[in-house]
Amino acid sequence: MSGGADPSSSEALLARLRRDTVWAGLALAAAALGLWPGQPARAAGVLGGLALIGLSYAGLRAGVDAALGLRMGAVSPAERPEIPADSPASGRSLGFVKFFTRHAILALGAYVMIARFELHPVAMLVGVTTPAIAAGIEFVRIVRARRTGSQSRSL
């Protein structure tokens, strides 16, 4: 992360990561469906893993935004970063509820998917890996942008 106090850059980073995660999950689900056409539980497992990590992300983000909103009460308005409009600035308590109950919801969701819906467990693990794939894509993107920037400066 480069220095500076630009909240929109972090929001843009998170938006790119969200988008890459969803695309990676959909691509992996499509690949699973293409490789094993007779077993849709594998593709559904990837999507189930994606849903689990999405729930986790939503809970973490709500909690961090709520906590940040609490902290920002002690900071002068000029130094206060903009918290995105869709964050629970008005419903801070709901953000904390989401944060602290996320593990229970995750455990319930994972149990239902594995034991009741019988989604493929390894495919679910692959679905949970998608944020790491998105982070890898973002890392490559940053390295390439820096390389391009340094080349253009040297010219």
| List of residues contacting other proteins (CB under 8 A) | 1, 3-11, 13-14, 17, 49, 51-53, 55-58, 60-61, 64-65, 68, 71-72, 75, 79-82, 86, 105-118, 121, 124-125, 128-129, 131-132, 135
**Least distance from C-beta 151 to other proteins, angstroms?**
26
Q: Which is nearer to other proteins, 35 or 111 (CB)?
A: 111
**Least distance from C-beta 31 to other proteins, angstroms?**
20
Q: Which is nearer to other proteins, 33 or 51 (CB)?
A: 51
Structure tokens at 82: 């903009």
